[in-house]
Amino acid sequence: MSGTDEAMKAITTAAVDSFRDTPDPRLRELLQGLVRHLHGYVRELRPTMREWEYAVDYLTAVGQKCDPTRQEFILLSDVLGVSMLVETVNEQGGGTESTVLGPFHVVESPKRESGDTIDLLGTGRPCVVSLRVRSTDGRPLPGASVDVWQCTEDGFYDVQQPDVQPPGNGRGLFRTDDEGRLWFRTVVPSHYPIPTDGPVGVLLDATGRHPYRPAHIHFIVEADGHRPLTTHVFVADGPYLDSDAVFAVKDSLVVEFAQVDDQEKARAYQVAAPFRIAEYDIGVEPEGREDAR
Ligand code: BEZ
Ligand code: FE
């Protein structure tokens, strides 16, 4: 081992050891692991001082871009595939697969009743989404809360267009009925580019990556005695399903939004025909000891 290698090893050891007395063992493990991996990256790739300063300036800019309705750090984690990796290591299997939260769950969704519309603009092509929430043991789950958010047909969330969309457009906080069901009226969301007017856009641009996400509707499902689930359903016939900018597509989450021409069905759902309908069963896992952490 050269003198330089020894000096580098001593720095890593000292930094890891500095967390030795952290009272919380999990915090100690996370911080010591972080230091080991960061130091390993530096030792392998040997960034120049200029590159290091660029990285610090870049992360500073990421922080400065954040505000109550813009979360550039989540976006950065998303395009690096980290958000999806965290989702995946936490998945237990058995229930509906999870996927990323994304940066647009930044306002409280308005409470709505099953059958309500979340399309406050009223100009789009109608769509009905019908869900049933069950435990993975097959029991329907009455009273489960389902938080929904989606973009418009033009590919924007309400918080991105405060002058165009009323707050709460495309959002709703629902509860399932006695059979674990709920439905709502909406529009079919569009695919859209993730925000590129910040440092994450600079990264995508410099690396020749496109910013698009396939069309989807987000859900957070919470039921007593069950693990909370953060997921989306993806619109089956849309573009970018095989190249999502944030790596979040799972085959089990791709759902057909079928066209319905039947006038009677349209009347039953209080929409005009033709309309699209997506029907999806969501499975949530009973809470286990894992959650104690
Ligand atoms: C979203 O689906 O809202 C989203 C997820 C990750 C990055 C950007 C947007
Ligand atoms: Fe989204």
**Ligand in nearest proximity to the CA of 189:** 2
The rounded Å distance from CA 3 to ligand 2 centre is 51
Task: Give the mutation target among 150, 246, 249 for probing the ligand 1 site: most ligand atoms within 8 A of CB.
Answer: 246
Looking at the structure, do residues 275 and 222 belong to the same domain, yes or no? yes
Report strand pairing: 229-235 vs 254-255: parallel
Which pLDDT score is estimated for 23?
98
CATH of residue 154's domain is 2.60.130.10
Q: How far apart are CA 231 and CA 213, in angstroms?
A: 14
Q: Whose CA is nearest to atom 3 of ligand 1?
A: 102
In a domain, 55, yes or no: no
* Omega before residue 162 within 30° of 0, cis: no
Which pLDDT score is estimated for 124?
86
Q: Which residues line ligand 1 (CB under 6 A)?
A: 75, 78, 100, 102-104, 194, 213, 246
Backbone angles phi, psi at 265, to 5 degrees: -65, -40
pLDDT (tens digit per residue) in 150-164: 999 999 999 999 999
Looking at the structure, do residues 120 and 246 belong to the same domain, yes or no? yes
Backbone angles phi, psi at 68, to 5 degrees: -60, -25
In percent, the amount of the chain with pLDDT more than 90 equals: 87
Residue-level length of the chain: 293
Check: CB of residue 152 under 8 Å from CB of residue 171. no
Question: Mean pLDDT across the stretch 41-60?
Answer: 97
In a domain, 97, yes or no: yes
Residue numbers of the domain that contains 31: 1-46
Looking at the structure, do residues 126 and 190 belong to the same domain, yes or no? yes
Give the environment of ion ligand 2: residues with CB less than 5 A.
Answer: 102
pLDDT (tens digit per residue) in 72-89: 999 999 999 999 999 989
Looking at the structure, do residues 224 and 268 belong to the same domain, yes or no? yes
The rounded Å distance from CA 218 to ligand 1 centre is 9
In a domain, 108, yes or no: yes
Q: How many helices and strands (H and E) does the chain possess?
A: 7, 11
Asked if pLDDT for residue 207 goes beyond 70, the answer is yes
Asked if pLDDT for residue 290 goes beyond 70, the answer is no
In a domain, 266, yes or no: yes
Looking at the structure, do residues 165 and 30 belong to the same domain, yes or no? no
**Ligand in nearest proximity to the CA of 104:** 1
Q: Which residues have C-beta within 8 Å of that of residue 117, sequence separation ≥ 6?
A: 184, 185, 186
Summary mean pLDDT of the chain: 94
pTM (two decimals): 0.90
Confidence of residue 291 (pLDDT cuts 50, 70, 90): very low
The rounded Å distance from CA 151 to ligand 2 centre is 7
As for how many domains the chain has, the answer is 2
Looking at the structure, do residues 6 and 111 belong to the same domain, yes or no? no
The rounded Å distance from CA 290 to ligand 1 centre is 27
Looking at the structure, do residues 92 and 169 belong to the same domain, yes or no? yes
In a domain, 241, yes or no: yes
In a domain, 53, yes or no: no
Q: How far apart are CA 38 and CA 46, in angstroms?
A: 11
- Looking at ligand 1, which atom is closest to the CA of residue 157? 3
Looking at the structure, do residues 11 and 146 belong to the same domain, yes or no? no
Q: Whose CA is nearest to atom 4 of ligand 1?
A: 102
Report strand pairing: 181-187 vs 171-175: unpaired
